[in-house]
Chains A and B, each alone.
Chain A
Amino acid sequence: MEIVVCVKPVPDAETKLRPAPDGRTLDLEGAKFVLAGYDESAVEQALLLKDAVPGSTVRVVSFGPPGRTEEVLRAALALGCDTATLVESPPLAHSADVRSVARALAAAVKKLPHDLVLVGKQSGDSEAGMLPTALAQALGHPGFNGAVELKFDPTQKLFTFGRASEAGLERWECPGPVVLGLQQAGNDPRTAKLQNILKSRRATLDKVSLAELPTLDVAGATAEAFQLPPPRTGAKWIEYKTPEEAATKLVRLLKEEAKVFP
């Protein structure tokens, strides 16, 4: 089976976020970019399918500025992906318009054999959750978002998976090629072994340059402003010596200030 996984470099969860001086983007100077969240699960699921169906190949594709994108591709190779393709983005804001990203990724995916295109159901940073559908459209394949319990039936050549909806768990089956936005892998994501990490550092990445891409409609959607939420106020610290005093003061505040009850 030929599997392509598309991943996005996202800032490490410990990054302290702040707006950039232009007020429209995030200041990610010096941030560490990682393979994270649903993308990590998508890679894990692809590797599980590879283990289950002998002879399968997992190719990982990522779109973004070279440095950070190379990092997540190497992380995916260290985990066990077979090849990696870096689709170089123009030096644009951190999150480009989703249709542009889908078109750029599709241009690279089309060149690779694929029965299944796996992506995280949403990215670990902007969490828009639109890419799986946009990518399916750009590739002209059926697409589903929020897939769980993904399996492949080799005799019928069908992918089977669940999809949580308000009514319960939908059961789907679909022949390839198909684009799936993965909600959860069958396993917790594995950790790369030291030797594989070192090997991945020396691996050659396939590159798709800007010139090879279709015109990207980067102006499709742009961020107008980016601000941190206002600092939270309203929390009060009650100083007290006895529990009775704390309770009395709390009740007074709830009545007089929070007006929770008369």
Chain B
Amino acid sequence: MPDFSLTDDQTSVRDLARKFARTEMAPRAAECDRKSLFPEDIYRKAWELGLMNLNVPTEYGGSGLSLLDQCLIVEELSYGCAGMTTSIIANCLALEPILLGGTPEQKTRFLKPFCASYNLASFGLTEPAGGSDAGALATRATRDGDHYVISGEKCFITNAPNASLFTVFATTDPALRTKGICAFVVPRSTEGVTPGKDEEKMGHRASSTGTVRFDSVRVPVADRLGAEGEGFSIAMRTLDQTRTPIGALANGIAQAAMEHAARYALQRKSFGKPIAEHQAIQIKLANMAQSIHAARLLTWHAAWKIDHGEPATLESSIAKTFASDSAMRVADEAIQVFGGYGYMKEYPVEKLLRDAKLTQIYEGSNEIQRTVIARELLRRYA
């Protein structure tokens, strides 16, 4: 029989994240969203408490948590503010290639000093001319003795304006497609690395997002992760790990939206009674609750499979897609429950819809996820 109960350890780390989200993040969420502020003091505090480098083993200075534990934390943080959560968990995404492809020496050299103090890292895969088609990278890595020379541009990179370390994917030969891609660790201080300006976004406005230009950046061969040509596999395996927490992030947004809607429905009156007593509103709330419950179980299950070393490409894609679509529906319905007030920026729910939208796009768009799901499915019947 499956066991859906959380351990005491899990409840206590979830409670830590819950407290942090509600006392530190939520009170600042609206202002950071409105003014597009990057609340570095909150991120620093998240690092101090151990809420930042969740996937990095403790021997390298991280929190060393299972994926299910990470999902519990991410949902709580996202309930407080999805944008801040994106910036807080961007290190998990950026450092995962080092965990998957790095040698023990590289892990010690990069992760230990990085995790020992407050630092942000960015994952550099997406390019202006290629998002979902990750095999078609244009950023070049040209071998020159015991160095590579990297040139090209990455875009939509979370935390890029503030990051001190980048994991970068570049090709030694575009004709080789995925087989030509290599992964590198590049400190921001390396000559030729130029992060661009912070982009104006629809949602997740407490997070920073930008381009990074690499102009003839010399990277030692010793800083390449894995073998030459192994970069694409490292990138895909990284996303296999980090996709599920995006489901959890979407669930946090949805949970917040439902709670706002339920509280409002109990207090707002129409036709002489609280609107929560109207069946039209009850049906909306019931649909929200069902959707969130299903999405959460899918997320937990995918994380559980990965933690048990089982293949979970199908489950993690289903979890991410279902949860992000669910968050959009729930946030949309929450606005509807609020009526005109929901459309006003003075109320908290319109932000949730803008935040939910990104979860359908980043870390593998839902269209790509559905392609993956169909491929995994059809393989079984071929």
Contacts and interface: CB of A to CB of B under 8 A. Distances in A.
Contact of B13 (A74, A191, A198): A198
Interface residues of A, number: 10
A194 B19 contact: no
Nearest to B20: A191
Interface string A177-206: 000000000000001111101100100000
B20 A198 contact: no
A201 B63 contact: no
A194 B20 CA distance: 11
A193 B50 contact: yes
| A191, A194, A198, A201 pick with most chain B CB within 10 angstroms | A194
Interface in B57-80: 58, 63
Nearest to B23: A191
Contacts of A191: 16, 19-20, 49
Contact of B58 (A74, A193, A195): A195
Contact of B51 (A78, A194, A198): A194
Contacts of A195: 50, 58, 63
A201 B11 CA distance: 11
Interface in B1-57: 8-9, 12-13, 16, 19-20, 48-51
Contacts of B19: 191
A192 B19 CA distance: 11
Chain B binding surface SS class: helix
Nearest to A74: B12
A201 B6 CA distance: 14
A197 B20 contact: no
A199 to B, nearest CB: 10
A201 B8 contact: yes
Contacts of A192: 16, 49
A198 B50 CA distance: 11
A217 B341 CA distance: 58
Contacts of A201: 8-9, 12
A193 B48 contact: yes
A25 B339 CA distance: 43
Contacts of A74: 12
A100 B311 CA distance: 58
B285 to A, nearest CB: 19
B8 A197 contact: no
Interface string A88-120: 000000000000000000000000000000000
Contacts of B16: 191-192, 194, 197
Interface in B94-115: none
B354 to A, nearest CB: 29
Nearest to B24: A191
Contacts of A194: 13, 16, 49-51, 63
B48 A197 contact: no
A232 to B, nearest CB: 16
Nearest to A237: B269
A120 B20 CA distance: 24
Contacts of B49: 191-194
B52 to A, nearest CB: 10
Contacts of B13: 194, 197-198
A226 B379 CA distance: 65
Contacts of A78: 12
A132 B48 CA distance: 34
B210 to A, nearest CB: 29
A259 B312 CA distance: 71
A201 B19 CA distance: 18
Contacts of B20: 191
Given A78-B12, A194-B50, A198-B12, 13 more contacts: A192-B16, A193-B48, A193-B50, A194-B13, A194-B16, A194-B49, A194-B51, A197-B13, A197-B16, A198-B9, A198-B13, A201-B8, A201-B9
Interface of A: 74, 78, 191-195, 197-198, 201
Interface of B: 8-9, 12-13, 16, 19-20, 48-51, 58, 63
Give the 10 A-B residue pairs with the shortest CB-CB distance, closest first. Answer: A194-B50, A193-B50, A197-B12, A193-B49, A195-B50, A194-B63, A201-B9, A194-B13, A194-B16, A197-B16
6 contacts: A78-B12, A191-B49, A193-B48, A193-B49, A194-B51, A195-B50
